[in-house]
């Protein structure tokens, strides 16, 4: 199973690279697979590559769901 996560482009770099922010963490990724990206765009990232451009609302909701999923295992059970 593969998982891609939403990220927001913070800076476009030379050679089809960019800095993205994923829930406050900055990473350098390849944007070679997508044309016409700008700072502020949201993309799906998998193993260091932006796979597709996505709607910012969908990106936000996906991150919220991932956070909920992550915190679900931390709640005490009755």
Place 78 in a pLDDT band, splitting at 50, 70 and 90: low
Dihedral, 56, 21, 29, 44 alpha carbons, nearest 10:
-30
- DSSP secondary structure, 5-74, as one string: EEEEEEEEETTTEEEEEETTEEEEEE-TTSSS--TT-EEEEETTEEEEEE-HHHHHHHHHHHHHHHHHTT
Mean pLDDT of 29-40: 96
Place 76 in a pLDDT band, splitting at 50, 70 and 90: low
- Summarize pLDDT for 37-65 with one digit per residue, the tens: 999 999 999 999 999 999 999 988 988 88
How is residue 78 annotated by DSSP?
-
% of residues, the chain, pLDDT over 70: 91
């Amino acid at each position: 199973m593969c998982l891609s996560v939403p990220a927001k482009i913070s800076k476009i770099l030379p050679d089809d690279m960019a800095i993205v922010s994923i829930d406050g963490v900055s990473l350098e990724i390849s944007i070679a697979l997508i044309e016409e990206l700008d700072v502020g765009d949201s993309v799906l990232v998998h193993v260091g590559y932006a796979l597709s451009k996505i709607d910012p609302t969908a990106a936000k909701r996906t991150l919220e769901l991932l956070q909920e999923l992550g915190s679900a295992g931390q709640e005490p059970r009755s």
